[in-house]
Amino acid sequence: MDTTKVLIADDIAGTREDIKRLLYFEEDIKVVGEAADGEEALRLTETLQPDVVLMDINMPRMDGIQATELISMQFPEVAVVIISIQGEQEYLRKAMAAGARDYLVKPFNSSELAETIRRAGAFHKKRQVHFSGGQVAGATPQPARIPGKVITLFSTKGGVGRTTLACNLAVALAQGTGQKVVLVDLDLAGGDAAVLLNMPTKGTVTEVIQEPDYADPSLLESYLAPHFSGINALLSPADPEQAETVTGAQVTVILQTLKKSYDYVVVDTCAYLNEVVVGALEAADQVLVLVTQDLPALKHARLNIDILERLNFHSKIKLILNKTRPDMLKPNELEKSLNFSLWHAVPAEEKIVLPSINRGMPFVLAEAGSAISQSIFELAGLLTRGEEEAAGKGRIVPESRADYRERKSLLGKFFKTSAKPVSLR
């Protein structure tokens, strides 16, 4: 059984004793030392080499925030957990900015403490692999991996369906290719990818950038949340105020790092142009510019194409007509107005899309035989066609309507599609 070594740093001896009592019956957790201030915590971290440091904030000589920052810089393989009576967001932000892995508000019980230590300890072990060279001794070296593709969805018009399309496209790519797909929600002030996928908001963009070495692939992987469809996701923060801490340069680095480990990186963005969105456009291999059949959306699409061309991203642009209706502006008229060719059109099917959103279930899984799902799989096929045709393969083919009707339940459908994924032919 692996044992997690813990150093306790708190200026009150009684608190240190209380923590030791809480951990007394945890066989996999061992307290290896105690520190009464930040300086002693820093010194003992070097000599005792703990997996986790439990760090109080208010301590003499050197406070916990400063000690956490120094430990994170000098011993990046060690995970720091802040323990404090202060539960305000200001303290939490300071702790995370200093490099803390987690934050516990006093008082806490033994199970909360032990679970937090185990979680931080597991993170520590992942980082140990990286800082010891990134490879287990005796392991066979792996061949260099071909970088994946970053696909950024973009429109400065709200309501065009960016998030719905991003979530379903990511799932379609994973189901259709069997390859590694990650979804990144960069609508940092109001992203809904977690809602559409029915996922808890943990492992977010704003948490990742607090890490000094956030560009490390193995570290970044530890922040990704798995979805049962086969994709992973890096989500937007629950607190919109945290959006202000992210820069465009950081976003570009994160996306370029993810494409080293994933075949497809699907990026959702917000409905306005800021440095985060520019960072996502910079990192993109293809930019899906979304437009719908109304004049405001047309105006925004014209503006968006102009912006991308001024940024010298013309070759990345793929114009997508979303929520297509036969009684609205005709596609050829839209192309003439924009002086730009459509790459793909996705039909409007509110009776399928809205229940899918409210249930937190991608419609490419729940309604795989529908026209809109077929269209999303076709779009996924267009995005993969260059690589797949070069490999002698063809387009992505979703399961047929007949196959879908045979499935008695959504859960049964999922396990069948997992065992026999949507084929490439």
State the average pLDDT over residues 372-388: 83
Structural domain contains residue 425: no
For residues 273 and 96, the model is more confident at 273
- Pair (274, 234) in one structural domain: yes
206 and 355 inside one domain: yes
- From 98, 131, 164, the end of a domain falls on 131
Q: Is 138 inside a domain boundary? A: no
Q: Are 110 and 190 members of one domain?
A: no
Are residues 284 and 248 part of one domain? yes
Both 187 and 311 in one domain: the answer is: yes
Within a domain: 399 = yes
- Asked if residue 28 belongs to a domain, the reply is yes
Is residue 140 included in any domain, yes or no? no
Range from 48-52, 210-214, 308-312, 331-335 that averages highest in pLDDT: 48-52
The pLDDT tens digits of the residues spanning 121-173 come to 876 565 554 444 444 334 444 455 678 999 999 999 999 999 999 999 999 99
Instruction: Say whether both 406 and 290 belong to one domain.
Output: yes
What is the rounded average pLDDT of the residues 184-201? 89
Q: What CATH number is given to the structural domain containing 154?
A: 3.40.50.300
> How far is it, in rounded angstroms, from Cα 131 to Cα 199?
31
Q: Does 389 score more than 90 pLDDT?
A: no
111-129 mean pLDDT: 76
Do 77 and 218 lie in one domain? The reply is no
Residue from 181, 182, 168, 227 nearest 368 by CA: 168
Instruction: Lowest mean pLDDT of 15-24, 92-101, 163-172, 199-208, name the range.
Output: 92-101
Q: What percent of the chain has pLDDT over 90?
A: 46
pLDDT at 417: 33
In a domain? residue 137: no
Mean pLDDT of the chain: 82
Q: What is the pTM for the complete model shown?
A: 0.60
173 and 40, same domain (yes or no):
no
Q: How many domains does the chain have?
A: 2
Mark whether 250 and 356 lie in a shared domain: yes
Give the domain extent around 335.
149-419
pLDDT at position 125, please?
A: 64
- Are 94 and 174 within one domain? no
Chosen domain end from 131, 161, 182 = 131
Tens of pLDDT, residues 39-80: 999 999 999 999 999 999 999 888 999 899 888 878 878 989
How confident is the model over 300-315, as a mean pLDDT? 91
Overall average pLDDT of the 5-17 stretch: 95
pLDDT at 299 over 60: yes
Q: Are residues 120 and 153 in the same domain?
A: no
